[in-house]
Copies of this chain bind each other. A is one copy, B any other.
Amino acid sequence: MDSRELRYFVAVAEELHFGRAATRLGIAQPPLSRTIQQLERRIGVTLFDRTSRSVALTTAGEVLLHEGRRALTALTAAERRAQRAGSPRLVLATKPISDGGLLEKILAHYAADPASVEVEVRICSIGEQAVLLREGEADAALLRFPHDDADGFAYEELLTEQDVAVLPRTHRLAARESLTMSDLSGEQFPHWPGFPPNGGPLVRDAAQLMQLIALGRTIALLPESTRHHLRTDLIGVPVTDAPTSTLAIAWPEDSRSRPLAALVEAAVNSAPR
């Protein structure tokens, strides 16, 4: 199959509207209609049930949307990885607050390796690391289980922490030595992107989250290590029965790059124990 056709198909499948999809693709509507028809004819299945008023995916269309997206990201990933293969430099994707204080150690450890190359650290917004890794923009990423998803990646677990409640210092529970989850039952938690809305404010990055907590609009359960770099108007209070999460370094399963292997090793050696 031609990747152009697939890109067009995905656009229509996402918009469920030929006109809008055409605009998004920067072409006129008629050639888009034709291309989709050609695609359907060539592969021999109907992809959309369309009336003159509505467009809906068929079962086959749903499958093609799902698998096709994968194929397209694989395509762009191939290109990006090839581009970056020339320049001897690693890109490490990480979230701003949840590196468990390990990031500096990892970089120092790795830099001590005489064969080390330059490491570019890309601070990502929430959930973005996996995308960067999948699209070949990054060589490795620090992920946090179970929040992040490592399917299709190899990974090494680095450290497991319990969450603490991050509260404004003015919060009624801020002075407590420790809390239990039931103490937090009435609280408003943030709405993480990619998760179902829970009534809380939508949060895209760490600074924004901290600001919202400071304003008393939400509170959050974050890994213990974040306590070391909280703003002065916030406080982290232990929660005895809080969930734990595990920091891991992940990389594309099939990568056989030496510098990457050294970086992973440095990360593992930087982890406690």
Contacts and interface: CB of A to CB of B under 8 A. Distances in A.
Nearest to A45: B86
Interface in A15-60: 43-47, 58-60
A85 B59 contact: yes
Given A60-B85, A63-B85, A74-B71, A151 B79 contact: no
Given A59-B85, A71-B71, A71-B74, A64 B45 contact: no
A60 B82 contact: yes
A85 B136 CA distance: 29
Interface residues of A, number: 38
Nearest to A78: B67
B1 A75 contact: yes
A133 to B, nearest CB: 13
A185 to B, nearest CB: 34
Interface stretch (A2-10, A122-130, A214-222, A227-235): A2-10
A171 interface: no
Contacts of A4: 2
A183 interface: no
Contact of A78 (B6, B45, B58, B78): B6
A43 B79 contact: yes
A76 interface: yes
A47 B136 CA distance: 17
A177 interface: no
Given A45-B85, A83-B43, A83-B44, A74 B63 contact: no
A59 B71 contact: no
A238 interface: no
A37 to B, nearest CB: 15
A201 interface: no
Contacts of A223: none
A75 to B, nearest CB: 4
A44 B87 CA distance: 11
Return the 8 tightest CB-CB contacts between A and B, nearest first: A67-B78, A64-B82, A71-B74, A3-B3, A63-B85, A60-B85, A71-B75, A1-B79
30 contacts: A1-B3, A1-B76, A1-B78, A2-B2, A2-B3, A3-B75, A6-B75, A43-B79, A43-B82, A44-B83, A45-B82, A45-B83, A45-B85, A46-B86, A58-B86, A59-B86, A60-B85, A63-B78, A63-B81, A63-B85, A64-B81, A67-B74, A67-B78, A67-B81, A68-B82, A70-B74, A70-B254, A71-B75, A151-B253, A152-B152
